[in-house]
Structure 1
Amino acid sequence: MRGGQISTLRNGIDLTPIYRGPVPEDAAIIDRVEFMKGPSLFMNNIGDPAGTFNVLTKQPTGTPHYSATAMLGSWNLYRLAADLDGVLDAKKKLQYRLNVMGMTSESFVRYDYNRRLVLAPVLKYQFSDRTSVTAEYTYQQFQYALISPIVMTPNGYASLPRDFTIHEPSLKPYQVRDHTGFLTFAHAFNKNWSLTARASLLQNDYEGMYMWVTGVNPANPNLLLRNPKYDLVRMQVYSQQVFVNGKIRMPGVTQQILAGVDMNQKQVLGDIYVTYDTYTDAAGKTQPRYYPLHIDAPEYQIQTPDYRTPGGLTHGNTDQSIRYYSLYALDELTFFREKLRLTLGGRFTAVNTHNNVSSVETSSKDQVFTPRVGLSYSIQPTWSVYALYDQTLIPQAGITSAGEAIRPLEGINREIGVKKDWLDGRWNTTLSVYHIHRSNIVATDPNNALYRLQVGKTHAKGIELDVVGEVLPGLNAVINYAYNDSKIDSDVNPQLIGARTPMYVKHVQNTWLNYHLPGSKLSSFSVSAGYQYQGGRGERYATAVQHPGPDYFRLDGGIGWHCKHLKVNVLINNILNKTLIATPWYRNGLYYWVAQAPLNARLSMHYVL
């Protein structure tokens, strides 16, 4: 989004690991997802200036509520989930929420599958109406054959069957165990002032093997030279935050104040991208052992040797850490009966990183102040305009192939916009124009996944339009369009200056419509339909000679029915059964991409006691 990779939060906490992830939150634990374009909330300006999405997990409500959901779908998808919300004492002070889920699924990709288990208990003790303590734990366990169904060929994007794979079923599946915990203390001093203190942890362990092809085979381009790779990784994140917010009313001015401190410690230990299946050639050099696969007539069931890192994580090739703390304050002042709003804020962040990759060590220290100024004015009760200047920061770890430490990503966002409510607020529109500068963007080195590439400076400018709400009686719509123009302004490689930024998309246009049928007999039925479109897509990596990916258009639809205790929904994805790809790039004579699912369907039944 907006020429960058948006930041991820869970319950307002930065739990993004250094290497990969975080593991996606399963729908069973999600209460809602907040999407913020640009630095909409000051708490989120440790992140990319493009924006943030924040996943809020299910919490106890104090009102007993019990439900179960069953889902069936294409490729033998079976899923069961339960959500229990209740109290454990007569005074309703001790409250709980328990979500459990189990799922098994095959895939449209040959030999791929997914097994998943989720367990998420939450306990909350309500000392009084003003004070509470909440303890939350989430355990997610995964087993899948392919860490990513990436395919490659010399013959162009989407030129292989959608079920094509370079995987071998003899390889052991990926095993992932993800633990996340939160401890939150909340206290309201009065109706205007409150304090929140939160500590969280994440530990993600995974191990697995996969096949990889690093370049074209000169002797026979259609014969892929596969070599097995091995990953053993432990990622940990510890985060703590304390903040106060409150309101001060003075004659003619109201102040909304937010201030606090964030602390975060990230570490990754691993043996990553290991080429373990090798032999010694006649010259005494170690060479990877290849398992050829012809893309026109693939033959599988080849036995590959097993492998585990001797001594485990302590003998791996990667040990990286990021430690940062931030002090911040924000003051939103409102004037003229809250028609004019002025936002002033600042954040001081200190970052320390340490990297040990293949016995090459680097360290870095940075101290950065990032200010914010925002102005909003209500021309009418239903019409407002705004302007914003904001600087952001993302602490980053990593090392280049030249042995240099990766610096933090820094961004500057300038934005103006207008918001309008229509028909008594039943639907609203937002139009925004932005100009973003970034420096120190990081990408994986395509020649060696252990190392990183650091782009010098980039810019992104664009326009966004959103329409949300009930545009006609019974018809709800979410319609948006985004235009983006982002390029590299400076780089150590002069050939990249002026090139498109990684993962560039020029046009994005999405629409989703949901219609509740009129009439007392039909009011329990609904029909929905929508599409996703991306035009002018660039590559995963910045390149001097572009190999742009094909445009993306996917049409989805569904029907639903509900009564007092039961909801039934059928969703059909990729109705037109188009051949779609994601994450395209070209390297060393090969086109790489991730195939997307063909026509598929899901039936879900949700029962509430």
Structure 2
Amino acid sequence: MSATLFKTSSAHRLKPLSYAVLACLCLTQLALPKLSFAALEGNSQTNQTASHYSIAAGSLGSVLSQFASQNNLVLSFDAQLTRGYSSQGLQGNYDVVGGFAQIVSGTPFSVEWISANQYRLVASSTGAQVNLQSVTVIATQQLAETTENTGSYTTGSMGTATKLPMSIRETPQSVTVITKQRIDDQNMTNITDVVRSTPGLFLNNGSGPGRPEFTARGFSLNNIMYDGLPSHYEGWVISSQANMAMFDRVEVVRGATGLVTGAGTPSAAINLVRKRPTVDPQASITADVGRWDDYRLELDASSALNDEGTLRGRMLSSSRDTRTFRDGEKQNHDLLYLIGEADLTEQTTLTLGFSKQKDKTNFFWGGLPLTADGKHMDLSRSTNPANDWERKKQDLTTLFGEIEHRFDNDWHLRFAATKSWQDGLFRGTYIARNATHDLNHSLYQSKHWEKQSALDAYLSGPFNVFGREHELVVGSSWRRNDMTTYNYKNLGSMPISSHIDFANWSGKDVPKPSFERTGKARKITTQEGLYLTSRFSLADSLKLIVGGRLDWYEVESSNSLSWTNNGDNFKVTRNLTRYAGLIYDVDNHHSVYASYTDIFMPQANKDTAGKLLDPMTGENYEIGIKGEYYDGALNTSLAVFRINQKDRAKAILDQRQCPSFPAESCYEAAGLVRSEGFELEIQGALTEAWQVGAGYTYTKAKYIKDANLAREGKPFDSSSPTKLFKLTTTYNLPGQYAKWRVGANLYWQNQIYNDASHDGISYRVKQGAYAITDFMVGYAASEQLDFQLNMSNIFDKKYYQALASDVRWGSSDNYGEPRNYHLTMRYKF
């Protein structure tokens, strides 16, 4: 790690283009000149006897403390000052002076002798004395992929977009990384917290508070990646909400991502990257208490398992029990995570892991109904229309592993595999109105058994052509999703009063029905792919990335164990996905780019000849400019995009030409939805003490061609905002307040709405534009003990996070969370 001290009044200011990018984000960038630092200077009273040391690399504070302890020295330093810095440790024979010098080498610090065996850590300088009140310290270490213990809001490289390890600036798409520091600062506990905080992503709970859907650039996401392996996701069905305790970071690529995910929508790829074992021993305990009896406990321990450090292991356990702002709602979340690494040789590493996640809630489906004339009922936010016997239970078990071999010529081979088993129970009610506008409880139960498997293998490395070095990735993948659904019938809908007093609603008013199993359905989706990506260095400042993927996709369905050959069984052969990106470095800090990416989504509809329609394709066109400062510690971007989702199934106007009508309609691949907009983003360090992550997104998606001519020119999804602004920032206070840090979050979106009609009367259900403000304050009591208070929605804004879309049936009103607080204690051993 290295650091640089910068004066704010230097002539070496950033170029105007830097200010243009940052001005778009309403943040001012400081220009800072480089100063050198002093080495440790000895003292006549310092112990000059050399001793042998074997102190492993780790955080700077930890290494210094170990060295001082072994020499019975008193070393004074502020733990907040060393936060985010690391040391290579100490191996070999050193005296005290040499040992301290080696430990702080490459950092902006030196160690001063005070008296006898007392020392202190200070900011180093050379020549004339430096006035620390007039400088800013910026950490400029070369960030790696791993974000744990870096204190950063960005990462050094990410491969989610192409599998090539590239920095954010080198990636010709809009990308965001939610680092471990950002996860901790915002107290994110599951993936819905991440989505709500990530620029360009929208969290929609229209199907119910326990059935979240994620959208980006106007389209829903149906893939979540784990360590780069795609996994099918449908929040309204069974997919679990990933527990963030076991992840180092979340990498997000917006737009079409078919090169790495295969089939999907042109929305985004969310890649959750797991924590890995560490060589240095580290252990922590996190305790969290929040409003509404919210209690969470997390234990995390990692270490080398042998003296050589070639065997490493990590164990993490997390448990959370909580109520919510809705009366009687309860949630339980438990996680066990185990991972081990073994260096089979100096060039080969094997990783094996296991996780067990259990989630349970008693309110997940639907929400609050509309009035009979299509208006909000304006009930209390604490209103809970669910019943005590309702349940959503999910048990998810995952095994995963990978083996990586690094060749002498900088090529490497990686093989990764994962398999998960998910057991789910859905038992709930949905409040709806019948034809006479009376309210009813619609009852439902189903059980689900889901198995997901994925394999991925690729070879990557550099090659030389025409005197220049280029990079290549070639690989193959396979994935399979096997879902079995057990269906039940019930005693029918249970009527309730059309003038129900929700304020006095009791979860015991509707008795638990007897559900009778009616059958079982099974759906198996298999996808195989071959992919190739290459980055060509056309010139020192010009790079071209091209890639392609071939996919074989098949769906097989059965009902009550009888395999059928209906429209639910189909296959797509050798679908071609393309990728191209051109990046030009304008100067040392800025690059401009243009890219084309696409993705496909198979569809089961058939034309008049009985032939399966071609898959939908989502084509993403994007141009932008990116800035990178302080050796990658700060990243900015401005992107303009257009997405065409074409070949959408569109019912033909004259069904008389359809031989299967009316039993089955005929379609043509003629539908088109277009999404256009732009994104602005900044992520990383403005100063060593000031981290920021912010983004503004404008997206307008509309129907261009559709079977329903009245839709053409209308919004594709008016229940998602067209404008989003998200800001997260933290600041470590200076001087005598250095143990304190403060932070704030701001979330703003514009109006959302749903248009519908009932009994010939049209109505609009809407939620106006709103802003939510959060606040954080933290206190580092010592290097080991830290306290943090998070307050969300501090102005207690009342708003609908999701809207109902129909008087009788459809998505329901769901309130956003009122003012909340969490007090977190973290202790590191």
What TM bracket, shorter-length normalisation? 0.7 to 0.9
Q: Judge conservation of contact 1:374–1:388 (CA < 8 Å) in 2.
A: yes
CA distance in 1, matches of 2:427, 2:491: 11
RMSD: 3.0
- Correspondence 1:331 to 2:547: no
- Correspondence 1:290 to 2:473: no
CA distance in 2, matches of 1:132, 1:198: 12
Offset, 1:530: 1.6
* CA shift in 2, pair 1:356/1:265, >3 Å: same
* CA shift in 2, pair 1:455/1:202, >3 Å: farther
Offset, 1:144: 1.1
Offset, 1:180: 1.4
* CA shift in 2, pair 1:291/1:455, >3 Å: farther
Offset, 1:478: 1.7
Q: Which residue of 2 aligns with 1:463?
A: 678
CA distance in 2, matches of 1:58, 1:205: 25
| 1:277 alignment partner, SS class | coil
**Which of residues 261, 264, 268 in structure 2 aligns to 1:51?**
268
* CA shift in 2, pair 1:423/1:578, >3 Å: same
CA distance in 2, matches of 1:234, 1:455: 36
CA distance in 2, matches of 1:232, 1:191: 52
- Correspondence 1:211 to 2:437: no
User: Whose Rg is larger?
Assistant: 2
Q: Which residue of 2 aligns with 1:276?
A: 490
Q: How far does the alpha carbon of each residue in 1:169-220 deviate from its partner, in whole angstroms, 9 at most, with x for none?
A: 1x14322111111121111112520011111112211113111134x3454x
Q: Judge conservation of contact 2:290–2:822 (CA < 8 Å) in 1.
A: yes
Offset, 1:423: 6.8
CA distance in 1, matches of 2:753, 2:461: 45
Offset, 1:35: 1.7
Offset, 1:570: 0.5
1:268 partner letter:
M
| 2:586 alignment partner, SS class | strand
Identical-residue share of aligned pairs (%): 21
Q: Which residue of 2 aligns with 1:605?
A: 825
**Which of residues 698, 704, 725 in structure 2 aligns to 1:489?**
704
Q: Judge conservation of contact 1:496–1:542 (CA < 8 Å) in 2.
A: no
2:549 partner letter:
R
Q: How far does the alpha carbon of each residue in 1:256-293 deviate from its partner, in whole angstroms, 9 at most, with x for none?
A: 11110111111211135x55123xxxxxxxxx343446
Alignment of 1:393-432 (within 5 A): 393-394=600-601, 408-422=615-629, 427-432=634-639
CA distance in 1, matches of 2:670, 2:764: 16
- Correspondence 1:575 to 2:789: no
Offset, 1:540: 11
**Which of residues 377, 387, 393 in structure 1 aligns to 2:584?**
377
Q: Which residue of 2 aligns with 1:159?
A: 378
Offset, 1:537: 2.3
Q: Which residue of 2 aligns with 1:518?
A: 734
Q: Which residue of 1 aligns with 2:813?
A: 593
Q: How far does the alpha carbon of each residue in 1:291-322 deviate from its partner, in whole angstroms, 9 at most, with x for none?
A: 44644454322242344554xxxx63432121
* CA shift in 2, pair 1:324/1:538, >3 Å: farther
Offset, 1:37: 2.3
CA distance in 2, matches of 1:540, 1:253: 58
CA distance in 1, matches of 2:600, 2:726: 29
CA distance in 1, matches of 2:697, 2:340: 41
CA distance in 1, matches of 2:425, 2:824: 32
Q: Which residue of 2 aligns with 1:196?
A: 414
Q: Which residue of 2 aligns with 1:245?
A: 460
* CA shift in 2, pair 1:541/1:235, >3 Å: farther
1:262 partner letter:
S
Alignment of 1:527-566 (within 5 A): 527-539=742-754, 547-562=765-780, 563-566=782-785
| 1:392 alignment partner, SS class | strand
Offset, 1:112: 0.8
CA distance in 1, matches of 2:779, 2:632: 27
CA distance in 1, matches of 2:755, 2:778: 38
CA distance in 2, matches of 1:539, 1:455: 25
| 2:738 alignment partner, SS class | coil
Offset, 1:83: 0.5
* CA shift in 2, pair 1:317/1:84, >3 Å: same
Q: Which residue of 2 aligns with 1:258?
A: 473
Alignment of 1:71-470 (within 5 A): 71-148=288-365, 150-154=367-371, 156-157=375-376, 159-169=378-388, 171-214=389-432, 216-217=433-434, 219=436, 221=437, 224-272=439-487, 274-278=488-492, 288-292=493-497, 294-297=499-502, 298-300=504-506, 301-310=508-517, 316-337=519-540, 339-356=541-558, 361=566, 362-367=568-573, 368-394=575-601, 408-422=615-629, 427-439=634-646, 456-470=671-685
Offset, 1:518: 1.2
Identify which range, 421-430 or 178-187, moves more after superposition: 421-430
CA distance in 1, matches of 2:785, 2:801: 36
Q: How far does the alpha carbon of each residue in 1:346-404 deviate from its partner, in whole angstroms, 9 at most, with x for none?
A: 111111112346988421111310111110100111111000011112457899xxx99
Q: How far does the alpha carbon of each residue in 1:528-563 deviate from its partner, in whole angstroms, 9 at most, with x for none?
A: 012111113245999998644332421101101112
* CA shift in 2, pair 1:529/1:250, >3 Å: same
Q: Judge conservation of contact 2:257–2:266 (CA < 8 Å) in 1.
A: no
Length-normalised TM-score, structure 1: 0.87
Offset, 1:163: 1.3
* CA shift in 2, pair 1:198/1:147, >3 Å: same
| 1:28 alignment partner, SS class | helix
CA distance in 1, matches of 2:307, 2:633: 41
| 1:43 alignment partner, SS class | helix
| 2:245 alignment partner, SS class | helix
List gaps (5 residues or longer) in structure 1.
279-287, 443-452
Offset, 1:150: 1.9
- Correspondence 1:480 to 2:687: no
2:816 partner letter:
Q
* CA shift in 2, pair 1:3/1:271, >3 Å: same
Q: Which residue of 1 aligns with 2:138?
A: none
Q: Hey, which bits of structure 1, 4+ residues long, moved more than 6 A? A: 357-360, 396-399, 403-407, 540-545
* CA shift in 2, pair 1:294/1:58, >3 Å: farther
Q: Judge conservation of contact 1:149–1:595 (CA < 8 Å) in 2.
A: no
* CA shift in 2, pair 1:269/1:526, >3 Å: same
CA distance in 1, matches of 2:383, 2:613: 36
**Which of residues 8, 11, 20 in structure 1 aligns to 2:224?**
8
CA distance in 2, matches of 1:408, 1:138: 35
Offset, 1:456: 3.5
* CA shift in 2, pair 1:268/1:538, >3 Å: farther
1:128 partner letter:
T
| 1:505 alignment partner, SS class | coil
Q: Judge conservation of contact 1:486–1:504 (CA < 8 Å) in 2.
A: no
CA distance in 2, matches of 1:87, 1:423: 33
CA distance in 2, matches of 1:148, 1:245: 45
More strand by share: 1
